[in-house]
Amino acid sequence: MLLKILTLIIALLVLPDLYIYLMYMRRWTKNWWLRALCFLPSLAIAGSAAFIMSSNDMKPEHQPWVSTFMFAFLAVCAPKAIFMIFDGIGHGINWIVTRGAKKRDDSECIFVRLLRILGMALAIFSLGLLAFGYFIGRHHYVVHRQTFYFHDLPSRFDGYRIVQFSDMHVGTFRDGNEEDVQTIVTLINEQHCDAIFFTGDLVNHQSSELDGFRRDLSKLQAPDGVYAVMGNHDYSMYLRYPDEKDRHADVKELQRRVRSYGWTLLLNEHRILRRGSDSLVIAGVENDGRPPFPSLGNLPKTMKGLKRSCFTILLSHDPTAWQRKIVPQTNIQLTLSGHTHAGQFKMFGWSPVSHVYDEWSGAYTQGNQILNISDGIGAVMFPFRFGAWPEINVITLRKANSKQKPTRQ
């Protein structure tokens, strides 16, 4: 797997360089030192990638190196790849149009130049966008306020307010931005909601990423408590262990730490909140994803002993479980998920991740059931956000007399 990733990285780095060399560099200069400089940044980054992958060392204290590598890789690769695509299209179309002709006319030359200029402009724009998302966007925390209406919401819970936050990936903050964790905790507490729900992926790889954050994470407080479930990254599945027992031990350690913060960790189980004669169920399943992600969720076990008519809020990290299991098998009114990060990039309502997931950001309805997917508050591996800003979701539950779709304010 690592060899395939390394091969892809090298290809993404070298192919644009090779194109630029063949089309331009060898025409501009015969100095082989200058020609070699065309490949030097890519070779340095490819060498760094090989070193990082061969070490299999993802210690939390090495996150600054990982973040720097990812930024350098994308800063070198993306602009050149974009230029190659547009310039290549221009030359390709020009070759088709002028095929068989002895001489090109001026309009065709202008057409090629326009595509070249467009490619250069987009390449520069991509570099600026990348820098903005890396240095500014990742810290642009936003609060999304949403109101969801339900026929069967118990009257005493009308107006009930919750905070959902997801995909914190604490280890990524260990690149010199540890203070952001305190900022996030403060922002959540300032909402003064009735309950706080965390929908998985607290770490990137292992429980030791949480070292030093106990004081901040223990400060999360709400009258009805803080509830959490596990995401795919919380199962220590992205590191090789000499013994599978070591992996299980690390997962248990993460669970122990979460409980020590005063959070209620729901592992295929539920809790019941009561207000007078009314009740509301908070349920949580373990990660229930499609391969290669863990599939440990057990809905029958989670809902055991509950009537089908109970008003339930389900925490389920992976949103694909909603269509696969939750809607067909249950009457759960509100499901809260994360996982997708909205691709950490969103522009004009589009994200690359929209081609991977049917439901990937925001609220979705099917009958009387609602799924809300948080864009997440952190970033996995590469701390970058643009458009899909790091968010917390403040959700107000309202009782409806007639069918109403969820609204985002």
Rounded CA-CA distance 212/171 in Å is 11
Percentage of the chain surpassing pLDDT 70? 91
Distance CA 248, CA 236 (A): 8
Asked if 392 and 165 touch (Cβ cutoff 8 Å), the reply is yes
**pLDDT single digits (tens) 111-149:** 788 898 999 999 999 999 999 999 999 999 999 999 999
Entry field: residues in the chain: 409
Q: Which of 347, 296, 349 is closest to 318 using CA atoms?
A: 296
The residues spanned by each domain of the chain are: 2-135, 141-408
Kindly state the helix (H) or strand (E) to which residue 299 belongs, with its residue range. helix 299-302
Q: Which CATH class is domain 141-408?
A: alpha beta
| Sheet containing strand 407-408, strands side by side | 264-265, 226-228, 195-198, 161-165, 391-399, 142-150, 407-408
Q: Please provide residue 363's backbone torsions phi and psi, each rounded to the nearest 5 degrees.
A: -100, 140
Q: Which residue from 240, 65, 258 is spatially nearest to 170, judged by alpha carbons?
A: 258
CB of 293 closer than 8 Å to CB of 287: yes
Peptide bond into 223 cis (omega under 30): no
Q: What pLDDT, on a 0 to 100 scale, did the predictor assign at position 408?
A: 45
Q: pLDDT per residue over 168-224, tens digit each?
A: 999 999 888 999 999 999 999 999 999 999 999 999 999 999 999 999 999 999 999
State pLDDT tens for residues 251-273. Answer: 999 999 999 999 999 999 999 99
CB burial of 322-340 (b: ≥16 within 10 Å; e: otherwise) equals bebbbbeebbbbbbbbbbb
Q: How confident is the model at residue 60 (pLDDT cuts 50, 70, 90)?
A: low
Contact between 177 and 383 under an 8 Å Cβ cutoff? The reply is: yes
